[in-house]
Amino acid sequence: MDFQNGEILYFDKPYGCTSFDVVGRVRWQLCRTLGIRKLKVGHAGTLDPLATGVLIVCTGRATKQIEELQYGTKEYIATIRLGATTPSFDLEKPIDAEYPTEHITQDMVEEVLTHFKGTIEQIPPSFSACKINGKRAYKIARKGADVGLKPKTLQIDGIELLECKLPDITIRIVCSKGTYIRALARDIGYALNSGGHLTALRRTRVGNVRVEDCMNPEKFPEWLKNQDITIHDNNE
């Protein structure tokens, strides 16, 4: 494998670490193995720290393909807790408000989900990597300032209810680049005249890459030992 010229790797990002953490580990291990000080490494499509699943990592000249790879259709399995909200719309922040759920039924959930299929407008979470005047939204939000993000047009190709154990529901979503599943949890809760936040999220597919095709980053060093690796004399 020629990591300096460019390779594309598929990882199953673990819970609790950032996408940048995975990239950093991969870069460090590759530089150590190749005996070089620098190597371009990047990822296609950020996953929140509390999410797991498919993370595509590109090395060397393959980093030029990141933009193209990011446009691959995404598939997620998400668990939403109805009846409560958090500022981050997931478990990163504590519950800030509670709402009734006694009126919610499975039939109601299934009917509401149909309204989220197709082209939708979505306001990204304040605690996100979106940029406002060159600054990340989450940095502004953590200072308690109003972020004021504008709605974005997204495409939801498929959304279905997998499990309904109220107040928890588990859904499968097939969607376009830029979709925030945390924001979807917020909007589904609101549409049910309640609240909602994400309690679990797993990205199961990006384009044709499925989570079953991905390796645990912890196994990367051992996997690397078994590869036929090209090392360049000019240490690109």
Catalytic residue IDs: 48
Distance CA 105, CA 228 (A): 56
Distance CA 162, CA 117 (A): 15
Quick one: tokens of 122? 């979505």
Q: Helix 106-114 crosses helix 181-191 at what angle (to 10 degrees)? A: 120
Distance CA 172, CA 91 (A): 19
Query: Would strands 131-132 and 135-136 be described as parallel, antiparallel, or unpaired?
Result: antiparallel
Query: Would strands 51-59 and 196-206 be described as parallel, antiparallel, or unpaired?
Result: parallel
